[in-house]
Amino acid sequence: MNYNKKTVKDVDVAGKKVLLRCDFNVPLAKDGSGVITDDKRIRAALPTIQYLLDQGAAVIACSHMGKPVASFDKWVKKQAEKGKDPATLTEEKWQKSLKELRMEPVAARLSELLGKSVILADDVVGPDAQAKAAALKSGEIMLLQNTRFEAGETKGDPELAKQMAALAGKDGVYVSDAFGAVHRAHASTAVVADYLPAVSGFLIQKELEVIGGALADPKRPLVAILGGSKVSSKIGVINNLLEIADTIIIGGGMAYTFSAAQGGKVGDSLLENDWKDYSLEMIEKAKAKGVKLLLPVDTVCADAFSPDANAQVVKAGEIPDGWQGLDIGPETVKLYCAAVADAGTVIWNGPMGVFEFEKFAVGTKAVADALSKTSAITIIGGGDSAAAVQQLGYADKMTHISTGGGASLEFMEGKELPGVACLMNK
């Protein structure tokens, strides 16, 4: 895939309307108050927004939030699948579910951060959005309603994309800056580029330069740390990285499938029996390629999945019946930390254990600490590993923390990302 894409600095936006796709999918308080509990995704969009406004563009920002169901009938069906009684599901409740995912809290927070009013549309491509976009002047910003309120958004509907592009007018420009959504071929993330010249914002530019650079021409040795729960979710990543990396480190729940594949006892640990053969194939492939594949040599196991469960350290492959592995052990910690100490580049995706429980966060914390002390380029691949690094207080010590979990995974798999492929090449 070509990572060398045109950016906002390669086009003239002065006096033009810019349709800007952001990732404002922020977490909200569960009490329905609309309070944003973490605004870092809004903050991440500020450099691009401010640049466009400073250049005299009129900015039409858009984003999805959550997973609203755009029709009442589909909402009833989805709720019924979750075990809800259809007789209790009213149109009023559906409307309430939509109201909780409206963009008012985002518009308010964005106004505060920019220090200027953000005009909010009542719809995505309806009469209100059209009127407000038509009246928008240079240096002003408006925000469309949740793009997923339109049923055609997730289907990549060309007609919806055309209507969104029309808001920016015949001289308009499309700027993509929602890295967390570029792996989806939705109307607002990819298809809209069929109707407007499309470039990246600064956020996507950085992701492409840092992650793309690490995959295409890494400073060596390249060490990849892969954790998380399942081998099945990391197949493509392991496969691709075996072609590029010098060392691959396996941790988290997926390590127990590798252990069981080699005849180890894993007790009640997370295990994907269907992926044992694949795990053995990866071990053989690593040997054939001359890639070091490091697996845990010991494990912290517990008698229950609980923050205060009884715990003990055992050798890898010797977890007693009734116990489950929840973290890498102390000898593994030493092994993994030594592997990153002299690295040139480290890519990390997925925690080493159940970092949400303090007792079983030791391995994840030790790896984060080791990365904070290395002189290597350190890239955290979004999702749980990004959350762990931030929660443990190491975020400011990393070279780059990706803003997209699923997108960064697919990026590392070598897959084409629709929201990047649609941008103009340099």
Catalytic residues: 41, 230, 383, 406
CA dihedral 30, 35, 41, 43 (to 10 degrees): -160
Asked if 133 contacts 17 with a C-beta cutoff of 8 angstroms, the reply is yes
Q: Could you tell me which of 274, 322, 319 has the C-alpha nearest to residue 299?
A: 319
Cβ–Cβ contacts within 10 Å for residue 127, how many? 10
Structural element, H or E, at residue 342: none
Structural element, H or E, at residue 311: strand 311-315
d(CA 183, CA 411): 8
DSSP conformational letter for 232: G
Q: Could you tell me which of 201, 206, 187 has the C-alpha nearest to residue 18?
A: 201
Give the three-state DSSP class for 252.
coil
d(CA 365, CA 222): 21
d(CA 153, CA 69): 11
Give the three-state DSSP class for 291.
coil
Beta-bridge mates of residue 176 = 21, 200
The distance of Cα 34 from the centroid of its chain, to the nearest Å, equals 22
User: Mind giving me the DSSP string for 193-212?
Assistant: GGTS-EEE-HHHHHHHHHHH
DSSP conformational letter for 424: P
